[in-house]
Amino acid sequence: MKASFLRFKLILLHRDIKNMADSNQIRIFTESVFQAIGCSEEHAKLAADVLISADLNGVDSHGVARLAGYVRLSDHGRLNPKPQIKIIHETPGTATVDGDKGLGLVVAPFAMKVAIEKAKNVGTGWVAVQNSNHFGIAGYHSSHALAEDMIGWAMTNAAPLVVPTFSKEKLLGTNPISVAIPAATEPAFLADFATTAVAYGKLEILQRKNEPLPIGWAQDENGDPTTYNNAVKEGGGLLPLGGDREHGSHKGYGLGAVVDILSGVLSGANFGPWVPPFATAGFHGVAEELVGKGTGHFLGAMRIDAFQPADVFKENMDRWIKRFRAAPAVEGQVVQIPGDQERNFRKERLENGIPLNDKVIESLEELGKRFGIKL
Amino acid sequence: MKASFLRFKLILLHRDIKNMADSNQIRIFTESVFQAIGCSEEHAKLAADVLISADLNGVDSHGVARLAGYVRLSDHGRLNPKPQIKIIHETPGTATVDGDKGLGLVVAPFAMKVAIEKAKNVGTGWVAVQNSNHFGIAGYHSSHALAEDMIGWAMTNAAPLVVPTFSKEKLLGTNPISVAIPAATEPAFLADFATTAVAYGKLEILQRKNEPLPIGWAQDENGDPTTYNNAVKEGGGLLPLGGDREHGSHKGYGLGAVVDILSGVLSGANFGPWVPPFATAGFHGVAEELVGKGTGHFLGAMRIDAFQPADVFKENMDRWIKRFRAAPAVEGQVVQIPGDQERNFRKERLENGIPLNDKVIESLEELGKRFGIKL
């Protein structure tokens, strides 16, 4: 079995760029790992597609770097590889979905399909999801509305890493929100962001480099601003978007709270400090007290032509996008449209491969060894 | 007529607190001014209620301080005091409303009622509004869903004051967003905020005091950070929530853009840099080029029991609110729930009156003199 991993390493080095992986080969490997933990072929392909999309879009923290984490969720009995995902409550325009402890990576696409069907019937569709877990990048799910000439929404809560304004305690997850909006000839508008000043992955990069954080990203255990890159692990917390009160942190806190309430309270999932953690390497179980089922999401689809003719809207979106792109930029920069960064990464990585750091490669090698999967 | 203004002044001084006005007296005066420019009694009462709510909630910039501005809108022929507000397109769960150049203060409540009725029928209701103008505080409109056991949403676009990340040009308004969520015994959750680091009103306060801005609020005409309190007027711009790219300004930009697109592009109103300005003192008309009708709003209502039993949800909201309130706070502060600040102001101002600065009093006195309205 050793031989296959040498081959894997060789492929990674294939293009003479250190640790560059071909997205198709990583995709096949990822599908095989999901099948190895009991997922159906259909679910494995879908879950892999969500992870590879993150890697292609440049969101390295949400791609195959998390594959070992999903396997650990399974090892700890927190994942049902063959979930019976079902609607447990509905109206013509809404539904509540029970994810049956399935991969968030497949539960969220199920819920998004329901939202799109509801929108076809009554104009918009909104689905709250309980009993799920990490769903990957929010933008993957919101984007599914685009091909239907709909505006897509996706959000999720997550385990607490973030301090509300003036709190010393972490009570909210990074709680991302994504909105995808179609255009005509221009590429789609895609906002997809954590409701914090920065994603936790950016702190991890500085931890690896042993460099200090900029002020405004995190606070220490006393609630004071800090540059210490391990502060969040040691009693501190990530700051909401805005940073401090003077710069609007109460707005980032409010937005993260809305995401938590729609994803958690409205769905019947856990919320606030009770949201169970993703299975990180040091993970040993969920909190003793729970207030709901698993992690929660909230997904929505709004049919454009429920408001005005889709072609008129999309032409005006082109106009919006072109006008914003044409704004004079500060020296050395360009004014981007939300979604441009992801598209730029995708173009480059489809061509040149996905860069993987040593730790990620090591985790993939371990998974391959454990399940006997060749690359 | 002079006598009545002396009396007005006396009332303002009534409680021995300089420039403190009784909210009921200011309300009656405001209703009379709206009637004087041609509004029906019903519309005048509603419009005054929105403005007085802003003053009571501590949002001084959006209260009677703007009354003279609405009158200027009328003077410039941009306001229809007797609008035929109507639905121009609809599905079971959505509508597009034409405000007929009416006061946003009455157009938005019309649209919110439509959203609530739609939600009663199909679970949620969403209404895009064109051909309107300034609608006051977003939280007034979203809060109307609360009594129906619904989650309320309100947003609006506005004339450009805000620079997208890396742009030297102002292309977005302060584009506020509000979400109101009911609880059981706890007061409601009410997020209501501009998608900028700070509201423009905070700059005006420092302009009056002749004090510098904190870094992170505004940039100068070259796109550089500035402390100059007149920078936004002189070629600079307000920064999106997040401040700079390193602290997530692209997120605030993305959020403000979503508000602009839903309020403006989806409704058929103007959007981005084309949104007409509110009638400020130096106002001389709208841009020559327009891409839609007036200012746009977007309002929504989500029935709680379209997702789960309302009593279960509201009990969990109580739990959420109590848990967040109980978080240990940094020294000298408390952890607030979105809406607490507005409630604290309201309690205090219902008791002690609304503080009005000299400039606002002067503008009210002028209106009283012009229309012969006693206070």
For an interface test with B, the pick among A247, A262, A311 (most B C-beta atoms closer than 10 Å) comes out as: A247
- Chain A positions touching B189 (Cβ under 8 A) are 257, 261
B251, B266, B324: residue with CB nearest A307: B266
Task: Say what the pTM is.
Answer: 0.95
Q: What is the mean pLDDT of residues B309-329?
A: 98
pLDDT recorded at residue B284: 47
Measured between CB atoms, which of B94, B169, B195 is closest to A306?
Answer: B94
- B311 vs A286: which has the higher pLDDT: B311
Same domain, B302 and B361: no
pLDDT above 50: residue A81: yes
Do B146 and B98 belong together in one domain?
A: yes
Residue B319 lies in a domain: no
Last residue of a domain, one of B256, B280, B306: B306
Is A242 in contact with B246 (Cβ distance < 8 A)?
Answer: no
Predicted confidence (pLDDT) at residue A6 exceeds the cutoff of 60: no
Residue A14 pLDDT > 90, yes or no?
no
* Same domain, yes or no: B60 and B109: no
Which residue, of B306, B331, B362, is where some domain finishes?
Answer: B306
Instruction: Indicate whether B109 and B73 sit together in one domain.
Output: no
Residues in chain A with CB shorter than 8 Å from the CB of B193 are 248, 250-251, 254
Within a domain: B330:
no
Q: Encode pLDDT of B47-98 as tens digits.
A: 999 999 999 999 998 999 999 999 999 999 999 999 999 999 999 999 999 9
The total domain count for chain A is 2
Instruction: Using the 3D structure, point to which of A238, A264, A291 is the last residue of a domain.
Output: A238
Judged by CB atoms closer than 8 Å, whether chains meet at B196 and A265 is answered as no
In a shared domain, residues B121 and B214: yes
Q: What is the mean pLDDT of residues A300-329?
A: 98
Most B-contacting residue of A251, A324, A325 (CB-CB within 10 A), to test interface: A251
Whether residue B274 sits in one domain with residue B193: yes
Q: Between A45 and B200, whose confidence is greater?
A: A45
Strand B124-132 versus strand B94-98 pairing type = parallel
Do B199 and B56 share a structural domain? no
| B207 shares a domain with B150 | yes
What DSSP assignment string belongs to B267-332? Answer: TTS--GGGSPPP--TT-----S--SSSSEEEEEEEEEGGGTS-HHHHHHHHHHHHHHHHTSPBPTT
User: Which of A128, A222, A323 is the closest to B307 by Cβ?
Assistant: A128
Q: Are residues B219 and B244 in the same domain?
A: yes
Q: What is the DSSP letter of B264?
A: I
Q: Which residue of B has its CA nearest to A319?
A: B291
Is the CB of B309 inside 8 Å of chain A's CB atoms? no
Q: What is the 3-state secondary structure (H, E, C) of A5-51?
A: HHHHHHHHHCCCCCCEECHHHHHHHHHHHHHHCCCCHHHHHHHHHHH
pLDDT of residue A326: 97
Q: What is the pLDDT of residue B212?
A: 97
Out of A204-213, B280-289, B329-338, give the one with best mean pLDDT.
B329-338
Cβ separation of B93 and A124 shorter than 8 Å?
yes
In a domain, B51, yes or no: yes
Whether B159 and B53 map to the same domain: the answer is no
Question: Is B89 touching A (CB cutoff 8 A)?
Answer: yes
Examine the domain organization and report whether B129 and B197 are in the same domain.
yes
CATH number at residue A367: 1.10.1530.10
Q: Looking at the complex, report in whole angstroms how far the Cα of residue A42 sits from the nearest Cα belonging to chain B.
A: 28
Interface size A-B, in CB pairs within 8 Å, comes to 263
Determine whether the interchain pair B247/A198 forms a contact, defined as Cβ–Cβ distance below 8 Å: yes
Distance from CA of B85 to the nearest CA of A (A): 16
Residue B327 lies in a domain: no
| pLDDT value of residue A18 | 54
Over residues A56-80, the mean pLDDT reads 94
Share of chain A above pLDDT 70, in %: 93
Question: Per-residue pLDDT for B107 more than 90?
Answer: yes
Between chains, do A273 and B323 touch, taking CB under 8 Å as contact? yes
Residue pLDDT, tens place only, B329-353: 999 999 999 999 999 999 999 999 9
**d(CA B222, nearest CA chain A) in Å:** 7
State the CATH number of the domain containing residue B297. 3.30.1370.60
How many Å lie between the alpha carbon of A169 and the closest alpha carbon of chain B? 6
| pLDDT over 50 (residue A4) | no
Give the closest of A123, A189, A338 to B93, CB-based.
Answer: A123
Asked whether this complex has an ipTM greater than 0.85, the answer is yes
Interface of B with A in 262-291 (CB under 8 A): 262, 265-268, 271-273, 291
Whether residue A71 lies inside any domain: the answer is yes
Domain that holds residue A231: 198-238
Q: Is residue A110 part of a domain?
A: no
The reply to whether B317 falls in a domain is no
A78 has a chain B CB within 8 A of its CB: no
Instruction: Clarify whether residues B145 and B266 are in a common domain.
Output: yes
pLDDT for residue A237 is more than 80:
yes
* Mutation site, B262, B265, B315, B344, interface A, largest A CB count within 10 A: B265
Residue A154 lies inside a defined structural domain of this protein: no
